[in-house]
Amino acid sequence: MGAYIIRRILLMIPTVFGIMAVSFLITQFAPGGPVEQALANLSGQNVSLTERVTGGASGDLGGVQQAPTGESRSTYRGSQGLPPELVDRIERQFGFDKPPLERFFSMIGNYLRFDFGESYFRDISVIDLVLEKMPVSISLGLWMTLIAYGISIPLGIAKAVRDGSRFDVWTSTVIIIGYAVPGFLVAIALIVLLAGGSFWQIFPLRGLTSPGWAAFPWWRQILDYFWHLVLPIIAMGLGAFATATLLTKNSFLDEIGKQYVTTARAKGLSETQVLYRHVFRNAMMLVIAGFPGAFVGVFFGGSLLIETIFSLDGLGLLGFEAVANRDYPVVFATLYIFSLLGLIIGLVSDLAYMWVDPRLDFESRDV
């Protein structure tokens, strides 16, 4: 077991390196980089950004006299009318005065120390920015996944045992409808119905906590926290709920039809003993295999629309805004963090296999 874990951890190094290298290469050809974004804002006389970049007032561009239109020699779009000295200063600030290869390996060296630098367009370090958004994404990803699997596994087992019954038919109908309806439509419907839209105002519309939450008693803080999560979790959970339920049902049906189940019944074991002593650990292998992907997907990409609709400022929204604004330190830091997270959860999933079925031998398994 120990040797297998070490091999998997060592394999993470080239995997993460490859992900970062490909992503960095793509950004080199993407139009509208951070320098162009800054130049466009400067050309548009964005005072706050101008002062942040140049350290002076927008009128004199930080002590550098504006050049007449067309005088700049820069190849950046949006640099017309700006002096070359200012363009060079912006390049140095963003680190684009260095060759791409040097910038890439400098970034990797910093990331190995978990030094993610500062956001290009926000006055805050990237790690502080990620930590600031983390509670929202953890809340959505963790509780949605736990609740979805906590309901889906027992329901999937019940559907497998009652395959073809009325219970199986009507629950399948509800599940398929829930899977077919996009999460953002469910979110909008919930807001209209239950969050002060056109009917009732039962649940809060935005945020994870109410104003003055820190002054609440501990029991009220817990209730208020979960009260804010009800609608986002319902909106996010329908798709994952349907997938996990049908996956569990089909996995159990496949195992129930095998020869060893018939043999166990012939030995006089009850249906409960056959189901949970023999079928369960084999059928759950496939369900456990899908857990890491479901968690990471919800934790990052799957929560973007929900975060936007319910005004929840989490990592999904942060990543989207960083890509749109070409805030590369935030983009690469979130990519690095979630790549590591996905690989670690994949390893944990393999270890969970052994907990479900101790017959698995990881020591003799090739990575």
pLDDT in the model for residue 59: 40
In contact, 8 and 347? CB cutoff 8 Å: yes
Q: Mark whether 143 and 91 lie in a shared domain.
A: no
Q: Mark whether 72 and 179 lie in a shared domain.
A: no
Q: What is the 3-state secondary structure (H, E, C) of 47-102?
A: HHHHHHHHCCCCCCCCCCCCCCCCCCCCCCCCCCCCCHHHHHHHHHHHCCCCCHHH
Domain count within the chain: 2
Look at the chain and count its residues: 367
Q: Mark whether 234 and 260 lie in a shared domain.
A: yes
- Specify if 7 maps to a domain: no
In contact, 233 and 147? CB cutoff 8 Å: yes
In contact, 303 and 140? CB cutoff 8 Å: yes
pLDDT in the model for residue 73: 42
Q: Does residue 275 come out as left (phi exceeding 0), alpha (psi in the -120 to 50 range) or beta?
A: alpha
Domain that holds residue 168: 127-356
Higher per-residue confidence, 75 vs 36:
36
Residue 60 pLDDT exceeds 50: no
- Specify if 2 maps to a domain: no
Residue closest to 298 by CA, chosen among 228, 253, 238: 238
CA–CA dist 170, 63 (Å, integer): 73
Compute how many other C-beta atoms are within 10 angstroms of the C-beta atom of residue 334: 22
Q: Mark whether 41 and 75 lie in a shared domain.
A: yes
pLDDT in the model for residue 47: 38
Q: Mark whether 89 and 184 lie in a shared domain.
A: no
Per residue in 279-336, pLDDT (tens digit) is 887 787 777 766 666 666 666 555 677 888 888 888 878 888 888 888 888 888 888 8
Per residue in 82-132, pLDDT (tens digit) is 567 766 777 776 777 788 888 889 889 988 888 888 887 787 888 888 888
CA–CA dist 103, 316 (Å, integer): 26
Mean pLDDT of 247-266: 86
CA–CA dist 303, 297 (Å, integer): 8
CA–CA dist 253, 162 (Å, integer): 10
- Specify if 253 maps to a domain: yes
pLDDT in the model for residue 46: 43
Q: Mark whether 206 and 335 lie in a shared domain.
A: yes
Q: Mark whether 109 and 140 lie in a shared domain.
A: no
Q: Does residue 115 come out as left (phi exceeding 0), alpha (psi in the -120 to 50 range) or beta?
A: beta
Q: Mark whether 94 and 141 lie in a shared domain.
A: no
pLDDT in the model for residue 240: 73
Domain with residue 236: its CATH number is 1.10.3720.10
Residue 54 pLDDT exceeds 50: no
Mean pLDDT of 257-273: 85
- Tokens, residue 69: 């239109």
Q: Mark whether 71 and 160 lie in a shared domain.
A: no
Of the residues 115, 147, 173, the one at which a domain ends: 115
CA 78 and chain centroid, separation: 33
pLDDT in the model for residue 48: 41
Helix (H, G, I), strand (E, B) or coil at 290: coil
Q: How confident is the model at residue 219 (pLDDT cuts 50, 70, 90)?
A: very high
Round the average pLDDT of the chain to a whole number and report it: 77
- Specify if 299 maps to a domain: yes
Residue 27 pLDDT exceeds 70: yes
Residue 51 pLDDT exceeds 50: no
Mean pLDDT of 4-27: 88
> Taking the CA of residue 156 as centre, how many other CA atoms within 13 Å lie in the half-sphere pointing to its CB?
26
Q: Mark whether 214 and 295 lie in a shared domain.
A: yes
Residue 71 pLDDT exceeds 50: no
